[in-house]
Amino acid sequence: MAQVPPMPIGPSAGVPGSVPNQLSIETTIDQERDLQQPGVKADELREAPEMGFWRLAVIRFLHHRVATGALLILGVIVLAAIVVPVITGDLYRIQDYRHPFKPPFQSFQHLLGTDDLGRDELARLLRGARVSIMVGALAMVGYLVIGGGLGALAGYYGGWLDNALMRFTDIIISMPFLLVVIAVTAATGGVRLSTVIIVIAATGWYEIGRLMRAQFLVLREQEFVQAARALGASNTRIIFRHILPNALAPIIVSATLGVSGIILLEAALGFLGYSIPPPEPSWGNMLNQFEDYLLQNQAYLVIFPATALVITALSINLIGDGIRDALDPRQR
Amino acid sequence: MTFYVIRRVAVGVFLLFLMSAMFFTLTRITPGQPVSVGENPRVHQEQVNRRLHRLGLTDEQGKPYSIPQQYVLYMGALAHGDLGDSYLYNVSVTTLLKQRLPNTALLLGTALMIALLIGIPLGIYAATHQYSKVDMTTSITSYIGVSIPSFVLGIYLLLIFAVFLKQSPLHWGFPLFGMHSGGVDDPLDLLYHMVLPVTSLTILEIAIFSRFMRASMLEVLHQDYIRTARAKGLAADKVNYKHALRNAILPIITLVALAIPQIVNGAIITEGIFSWPGTGQLAFQAVVDRDYPVILGVVMLVAALTVVFNLIADLTYAVADPRIRY
């Protein structure tokens, strides 16, 4: 090892004893490049500060092989769910009484066979994927709007709102969710997908809310927030410009993992017959008659929707974990 | 401490009131009547009136009560331990719950015991042997276990052990449907019918418990006092099982107490799938039949359980961990 005297890096490097001044990043890089640090390439130095937090996170995520694989699988499912039903149109509900229970992988016409009413199983699966994805996405938007908004306000302002949020959480936790949906469905007169989405969003937001609250509680005491306040920034500006971007990382992780929870909930409701009404298929209501299928020896009609559900939920969870590792590499 | 307990109980009672009011209103604004003359012309209007009065929907003259009046009546009866009558079965909801509760307790209790006996040692082993084969297997399995909803797991189990196994050359498998009429009097038959539902519940619980135990144990193992104990030259086992385990097991108390209402909740679907005659299946069936008093009764039961177990969790935690003061 060559004897290299330790060389201070940074704006003050050139002028010893000077106060760190308001140098732009470019100037700093140029100075550092001039210094020609041993072992550090000038290119690296120039590139490092240009990579933002999010770009680094994306790179870290893509290095996570399992998570990237899960993202690919989920991408294929989502794409197929969006595109294929447009092409096949009404195929999912066209009944063919001459050919019920056609076994899978026998003919190209019905790749995954047909169900008890002779409907194409593959078309139904993909149509059902739409329901799952739509409910997952919409309810999560609901979580983020309600939970994120109230959590931020509760964490930032505290007081009665904070108390109310905590008590609400207590109530929700002690409520049997399935029975709530069923009671609401019955009271509003009929099984509707919108009811399911609204009830899930209205009762499930508390986790995001609590997380957001915790983030705001910590961040509002930080020095950069105090500095912003001292500079005369309004509360709105502090919340949206200073705290929110810093609070986002754990929220994104929780939201991703939450989507799989919502999809499983919707499926459980569909399974009980309380999600989207037939003939519209969902993975849950395709499993509704599982006992008949088992007794009639048509196991594939049970295996396909159940496995589709598990694969989707599992890939979303894996993606969520990948994002967590990417956003917070210390927490491995 | 006394003040804290009183406050918690008060909050719990308040929560129960709030939830009962909410559910009561929801079930009562539901369109449709439990009894109507149109369905059976031979039923006299007078009989219908008597029945509606018995169900707490009208007064003696047949004049309908308003929803708040009905609620007051319902809560008044509840104070005497009466949850009203089922619309479908000609018995009180309390009777139904009393019939079904032992079965649920048997199923859930067995599953919980097995899950604790397997899940916690597994979590401890995984944490003390981090990145070993057992740790990796446990992590992956529990990861998948958490991603499978209980009804899908139940269906898979039935598929494998009640359908495929029976069709295999063995010609033997577990039953597709729940308990026989023998019930508790026929232990062998009972056991035979319990295997699948218990397995289904246990797998999910083991997944939860082992994950949590592993995380809790790892957190403690990284603390300074553990390093000190190791530096002093204490045997690894003594450090792991005496110093670390005692602190790591504390959060599990809360987890288990909080998991019990969740398990009761989840049993609605598991019992429904395996036709296990417990409260869950009662609720499952009540949902299908729209038997609202029964749904309301089960909701109240689950809510009460949650409040009670939350309180127990907090109190045992305070007793077990002297660092916690209220």
Average pLDDT, chain B: 81
The minimal CB distance from B23 to the residues A183, A294, A302 is found for A183
For residue A330, what pLDDT band results from cuts at 50, 70 and 90? low
Hey, is the C-beta of A313 within 8 angstroms of any chain B C-beta?
Answer: yes
pTM of the predicted protein model: 0.80
Q: Confirm if B126 and B210 have CB atoms less than 8 A apart.
A: yes
Closest A-chain CA to B306: A174
- What's the mean pLDDT in B28-44? 68
Weakest mean pLDDT among A45-49, A260-264, B9-13, B289-293: A45-49
Please report the number of interchain residue pairs, chain A to chain B, with beta-carbon separation below 8 angstroms: 115
Residue A37 has pLDDT above 60, yes or no: no
Which pLDDT score, from 0 to 100, does residue A42 have?
Answer: 52
Q: Is the CB of B299 less than 8 angstroms away from the CB of A176?
A: yes
Residues belonging to chain A: 332
Angle CA B10–B13–B15, to nearest 5: 110
- Minimal Cα–Cα distance from B237 to chain A, Å? 26
Token output for A194? 């919108």
Residue B318: its pLDDT value, please?
A: 74
What are the CA-CA distances from residue B140 to residues A16, B132, B214 (Å)? Answer: 55, 12, 13
Q: Which residue in chain A is spatially nearest to B305 when comparing CA positions? A: A174
ipTM for the whole complex: 0.78
Cross-chain residue pair B303–A176, CB shorter than 8 Å: yes
pLDDT at A163 over 90: no
Nearest CB to B27: which of A173, A183, A268? A183
- Mean pLDDT over B156-166 rounds to 83
Neighboring chain B residues of A264 at a CB cutoff of 8 Å: 149
Residue whose entry in the numeric block shows the structure tokens 């309004």: A234
Of the pLDDT bands very low, low, confident and very high (cuts 50, 70, 90), residue A255 is very high
Interfacial A residues in 189-208 facing B (CB < 8 Å):
189
- Exposure string of B158-196, with b = 16+ CB inside 10 Å and e = fewer, is bbebbbeeeeeeeeebbbbebbeeeeeeeeeebeebbeb
A-contacting residues of B 150-179, CB under 8 Å? 150-152, 155-156, 158-159, 162-164, 167, 176
Burial status of residue A41 (CB atoms within 10 A of its CB: 0-12, 13-18, 19 or more): exposed
Contact B287 A171 (CB under 8 A): no
Residue A31 has pLDDT above 60, yes or no: no
pLDDT at residue B206 tops 50: yes
- Name residues 156-185 of chain A within 8 A of B (Cβ): 167, 170-171, 173-180, 182-184
CB contact under 8 A, A272 and B143: no
Q: Which residues of B touch A260 (CB under 8 A)?
A: 147
E-assigned strands of B28-85?
A: none
CA separation, residue B164 to residues A292, B77, B199 (Å): 15, 50, 17
pLDDT of residue A7: 45
Is A267 near chain B, with CB under 8 Å?
Answer: yes
Q: What is the pLDDT of residue A332?
A: 43
pLDDT digit string (tens) for B82-113? 888 888 887 888 888 888 888 888 888 899 99
Contacts of B239 (CB under 8 A, 6+ apart): B226, B229, B230
A81 pLDDT above the threshold of 80: yes
CA dihedral A121, A126, A130, A136 (to 10 degrees): 90
CA–CA distances in Å: residue A217 to residues A151, A152, A222, A254: 10, 9, 9, 18
Q: Which of A71-80, A105-114, A214-223, B216-225 has the lowest mean pLDDT?
A: A105-114
- Band of pLDDT at residue A17, cut at 50, 70 and 90: very low
User: Quick one: pLDDT at residue B35?
Assistant: 64
Q: Which pLDDT score is estimated for A262?
A: 92
Q: Give the chain A residue whose CA is nearest to the CA of B260.
A: A174
Is B149's CB within 8 Å of A268's CB? Answer: yes
Q: How many helices (H) and strands (E) does chain B have?
A: 14, 0
Contact B19 A310 (CB under 8 A): no
In A64-148, where does DSSP find H-type helix?
65-88, 121-143
Q: Which of A241-255, B64-78, B134-148 has the highest mean pLDDT?
A: A241-255
Question: Does the pLDDT of residue B150 top 70, yes or no?
Answer: yes
Least confident stretch, B4-13, B172-181, B259-268 = B172-181
Helix (H, G, I), strand (E, B) or coil at B280: helix
A75-79: average pLDDT = 93
Query: Scanning every residue of chain B, which has its alpha carbon at the shortest distance from the alpha carbon of A169?
Result: B15
> Is the pLDDT at B178 greater than 70, yes or no?
no
* B159 within 8 A of A294, measured Cβ to Cβ: yes
Is the CB of A271 less than 8 angstroms away from the CB of B19?
no
**Is the separation of the CB atoms in B210 and B138 below 8 Å?**
yes
